[in-house]
A = this chain, B = another copy of it.
Amino acid sequence: MTQERTGAGAAFAPHDHQRCQADALQVAEQRLAAKKARLTPVRRRTLELLLESHRAMGAYEVLERLAAEGYGSQPPVAYRALEFLVQHGLAHRLQRLNAFAACLHPECEHAPAFLICRVCSKLAEVPAGYLQDELGELSQDNGFTIERLTVEAVGLCAGCAKAGAA
């Protein structure tokens, strides 16, 4: 259980991604075992696919990969595995992209905000608990109770900015 709690740029910056993946998988196994939820082969493989890179994958992209490996070839196969992962906090849905990404902080509590690079498509997950709190207060004043919050920022990562992408 390595503690490489780095900043938002972690995903964009070069890092030991092997470990990144391995850690996430291990945490997933533990968390699911604790909840008595089953990390079946399709589900596990789906999580592995999402963990391959710090990018979001569309459901059909996931499906294609799964089908090629002998799993079912119809949309529900992918959608169900993805939904399972989301339900258990192991993946997130990116509303702006119609896509899914592995959660990079599965151990801590969840109020994620995403930084999405419009050039390289990589994304970083940054803690947004305080954002939720602040917006929550403001809403509370108006009688609105926040249950779930989506925060997605599209922009340019350091690497792509340097590479001179417009």
Contact = CB atoms under 8 A, between A and B. Distances in A.
Interface of A: 7-9, 12, 95-96, 113, 115, 117-118, 124, 126, 128, 130-131, 134-135, 138-139, 141-159, 161
Contacts of A149: 151-154
Given A113-B135, A135-B113, A135-B131, A148 B154 contact: yes
A139 B107 CA distance: 22
What number of copies of this chain does the assembly contain? 2
A124 B157 CA distance: 31
B95 A142 contact: no
A148 B144 contact: no
28 contacts: A8-B141, A9-B142, A9-B143, A12-B142, A12-B144, A95-B96, A95-B150, A95-B152, A96-B150, A118-B147, A124-B142, A130-B134, A134-B134, A135-B151, A135-B153, A144-B153, A144-B156, A145-B156, A145-B161, A146-B153, A147-B155, A149-B151, A149-B152, A149-B153, A149-B154, A150-B151, A150-B152, A151-B151
Contacts of A153: 135, 139, 144, 146-150
A8 B154 contact: no
A157 B126 CA distance: 27
